Chain A
Amino acid sequence: MSGVLASMIDGVLVGAVYGLAAMGLSLIWGVMDVINLTHGAMIALGMFCMYLLFAATHINAYVLLLPTIGFGLVIGIVVYWMAVHWVVGRSMLMSLLSTFAVNMMVIGIGTAIWSTSPYNVNFVLPGITLGAYTFTGNHIAAAISAVVIALALQFFLYRTRTGKAIRAVADNRDAAELMGISSTAVLSIAFAIGIALACTSGALVSTLFPFTILSGAVYQLKSFVVTILAGLGKPFGALVAGVLLGLLEGVITPFIAVSWIPLIEFGLFVVVLVAFPQGIFGKRATA
């Protein structure tokens, strides 16, 4: 097995987590046309949530994903009522700023509590060895978790009443209200799910790499790249696009110094924004 191939496979695994993170962003963006600038902070919160849960209980980290999801949902509802509810439907600038303000507050509080030192979740699964290369168990488990959660989300959106309501509101809020759907309830649930997805992806990342309160920002940018690539309102497309991004990283890292990666990603980001307004898979929101 060549080094590049191993790197690519690893990239695909991590990419699934990118995709999961992006799903949260894409869902919120697609449903309520709000660009959630708290996304990075929520990812970071998820990292710390897992850290605290694990430090307290030492239970299998992947089992701890469940309370993390619950935590994310609760935080999502709080943030929705604090900042988002009042700016849905107002100008894009307002929703960018209000979510950004919450981001600043969360990072500020987080820095005060945890400073900027690196943290770690010391839960390691045995890996799989193929020839000269070992794929860490955590990477594999993270990818599997991401896919499972993504499938659960698809099921929720397409097979449950609430999920259908969410898709209805995403399609046409006024019409949905006329059908008797309480759009506020739906928006708050959709937002909460989006945040929960962000937190969960953060929790998964915490099992893969060391992290600080500021680590969320990197994943936020990746989420934006993935979301734009995939187009909006197609969460599963986000998962696929995330895997593609991971694959791209896997292809590049053996050849280029790590310090160039951010430049490449951000360059890609701008290029994708300019060249693919529709995304590869889906519709574009009226930004």
Chain B
Amino acid sequence: MILRRPFFWIILLVAAGFIYAPLHSNNVSLREDLILIAIAIILASNLNLMIGYTGYVNFGHIVFYGLGGYVGLYLTTVRGWNLVLSALVAGVVVSFCAFLFGLAILRLRGAYFALATIGILQAVQAFVSNFDPWGRSTGMYLSFESYRPLGGARHALWITYYLIVAVMALSMIVSLTIKNSKFGLGLFAIREDEDAAVVLGVNATIYKAIIYSVSAFLPAVAGALMFFKNGMIDPSIAFEYMLSLEGIVMLMLGGQGSVIGAALGGALYEKLRSYLLTSPVLSNFHLVIAGALLLLVVLFAPGGLIGWLYRLMPRARKVLE
């Protein structure tokens, strides 16, 4: 049972830390830092389900986040729905869309699949840019009115933060649960050799469709929450191709296939990114450094940080996952 795995408690501890630290000192800037890290962890962890567990490279993962943001913002702003409900519905709607996309593209293997995910990202972006009810390329703005049910803007921001931390914890718990389950074993088999897996009895078609939808759900919820917090959305910030790829960098950096690898990679990369973007000299080179980092990892340490750690301390495997 999941409760018996030590790592489960580590996840809860980390989540508690995320909530306690900024709350205790009422430190808004710390909260803002942590929220970005939480989002990074959410994206990386869910991307890990496709890349690390199943071996299918999703270059367009951010599409779920952006779409979730759009659905969520539409429901809260235009329809006046409650935030939590909107976020959940966004998750369900986007998962369903993922299921439909998956039907089309999951029959593709390897690089063809990766390219198709880029195609989907760009197609969705192009569609949304032309979609009237969602503001076309201008996007949508949240009126301050929407913060009222949550007790005003300041309070709403805190609540959104807690919810995002909860989604972060959930992402990691979902990863952990799947990893130790029969479903996860089936995914690993698909990753190692899909044809052999099918011959062994794994229904690869269904499994892939399920995990693709699952990997869309929490990022969509997070997107709905995050864009609600930010108060605005437009196609270029919702479907930033760069963010999609940074998700992959995070995963490779931390160590794809492991729960903590995804989280660590997300956290570290986000820190690096913030540092680079605020440094006067280096902000221009953010992309170069990220690229160089990715190249180094791919060439010299494909197992990422965690792979390196496990080689140094094999016993760490018992506690970390």
A contacts, CB < 8 Å to B: 35, 82-83, 86-87, 92-94, 96-98, 100-109, 111-112, 217, 221, 224, 228, 257, 259-260, 262-263, 266-267, 269-270, 273-274, 277, 287
Contact = CB atoms under 8 A, between A and B. Distances in A.
A14 to B, nearest CB: 20
B288 interface: yes
14 contacts: A86-B299, A92-B111, A100-B245, A103-B291, A104-B291, A108-B291, A109-B285, A221-B119, A259-B129, A260-B126, A262-B122, A266-B119, A273-B112, A273-B119
A221 B111 CA distance: 14
Contacts of B55: 93
Nearest to A266: B123
Nearest to B290: A104
A108 B287 contact: yes
B126 A263 contact: yes
B129 to A, nearest CB: 6
Nearest to A87: B298
Interface residues of B, number: 44
B287 A270 contact: no
- Shortest 7 CB-CB contacts between residues of A and residues of B: A104-B291, A108-B287, A108-B288, A263-B126, A105-B291, A101-B295, A101-B294
B284 A274 contact: no
Given A35-B111, A101-B295, A104-B294, A270 B120 contact: yes
A267 B109 CA distance: 18
Interface of B: 51, 55, 57, 104-105, 107-112, 114-116, 118-120, 122-123, 125-127, 129-130, 137, 241, 245, 248, 252, 284-295, 298-299, 302
B252 A97 contact: yes
Contacts of B294: 97-98, 100-101, 104
Contacts of B137: 259
Given A98-B295, A104-B291, A263-B130, A273 B122 contact: no
A270 B110 contact: no
A96 B104 contact: no
A146 B125 CA distance: 31
Nearest to B121: A266
A263 B291 contact: no
Given A98-B295, A105-B292, A259-B137, 12 more contacts: A83-B299, A93-B57, A101-B291, A102-B291, A108-B286, A111-B284, A221-B118, A263-B127, A270-B116, A273-B105, A273-B116, A274-B108
A98 B57 CA distance: 14
Contacts, number: 127
B288 A94 contact: no
A104 B125 CA distance: 21
A105 B130 contact: no
A266 B126 contact: yes
Contact of B299 (A98, A100, A228, A270): A98
A146 B41 CA distance: 46
Given A98-B299, A274-B104, A260 B291 contact: no
A221 B122 contact: yes
B285 A270 contact: no
A112 B298 contact: no
Contact of B292 (A101, A217, A259): A101
Contacts of A98: 294-295, 298-299
A35 B130 contact: no
A105 B245 CA distance: 13
A141 to B, nearest CB: 30
A205 to B, nearest CB: 19
Contact of A266 (B111, B122, B290, B295): B122
Q: Which of B127, B286, B287 has the most CB of A within 10 A?
A: B287
A181 B107 CA distance: 36
Q: Which of B57, B127, B290, B295 has the most CB of A within 10 A?
A: B295
Nearest to B292: A105
Contact of B287 (A94, A111, A257, A287): A111
Q: Which of B55, B115, B137 has the most CB of A within 10 A?
A: B115
Q: Which of B120, B248, B293, B298 has the most CB of A within 10 A?
A: B298
Nearest to B284: A112
Contacts of A82: 295
A206 to B, nearest CB: 22
Contacts of B115: 35, 224, 228, 269, 273
Contacts of B114: 35, 92, 96
Contacts of B107: 274
Nearest to A268: B119
Given A104-B288, A108-B287, A111-B284, A260 B111 contact: no
A263 to B, nearest CB: 4
